[in-house]
Amino acid sequence: MAILPILRYPHEILLTESNEVRAITPDIERLVKDMIETMHAAPGVGLAANQIGVNLRVAVVDLTAGEKPGEILVLVNPRVLENIGVYVEDEGCLSLPGFTESVKRPERCVIEAMDLDGRVRTLEGNGLMARAFNHEIDHLNGRLFIEHLTPLKRRLIKKKVQKRIRAGDWDLVPA
């Protein structure tokens, strides 16, 4: 297992749609282990494979941030079946450290995803879980949470990031 660098906006792979996983192989199992370790080390409550440079549709979610190993969800090829309601709350992303903004997300979300045993399961999440499902599936579609902000707010964040890149204070691939 390994803790890998988490790529930062605007790294190209974060802005690119990821590919479907064809089968659960030892490589996918290893990828998931690395993702879980990297997510917990950050610490974070969710991570998509493209955040560590792998353009496959795999995400992990753990709202306990490592407190309860049984709560880790592995989502392979996840897709939203239904989004219900709206709720607004602060949201951030490990690929945009230091930036949080209120983001409108569904209150409840039903997804379908494959697990590491290759079974396709239906999962339902409310509140933070619905937010995490949508945030991670967005990642797999090459979208970050700033896409949900007003153009003005988004531009402001982009400007701040560009400024930090020029200052040498923001590496797209952190050491």
Task: Name the residues annotated as catalytic.
Answer: 136
The 36-75 contact track toward Ni ion, x by CB under 5 A, reads: ----------------------------------------
Answer yes or no: are the C-beta atoms of 63 and 71 closer than 8 Å: yes
By DSSP bridging, strand 108-114 and strand 46-48 are unpaired
C-alpha 31/C-alpha 54 separation (Å) is 9
Answer yes or no: are the C-beta atoms of 59 and 68 closer than 8 Å: no
Answer yes or no: are the C-beta atoms of 80 and 143 closer than 8 Å: no
Tell the smallest beta-carbon distance from residue 94 to Ni ion (Å): 6
| Residue number with CB closer to Ni ion (7 or 93) | 93
| Residue number with CB closer to Ni ion (17 or 122) | 17
| Residue number with CB closer to Ni ion (93 or 157) | 93
Q: Does 93 bind Ni ion (CB under 5 A)?
A: yes
Residues in the site for Ni ion, rule: CB under 5 A? 93
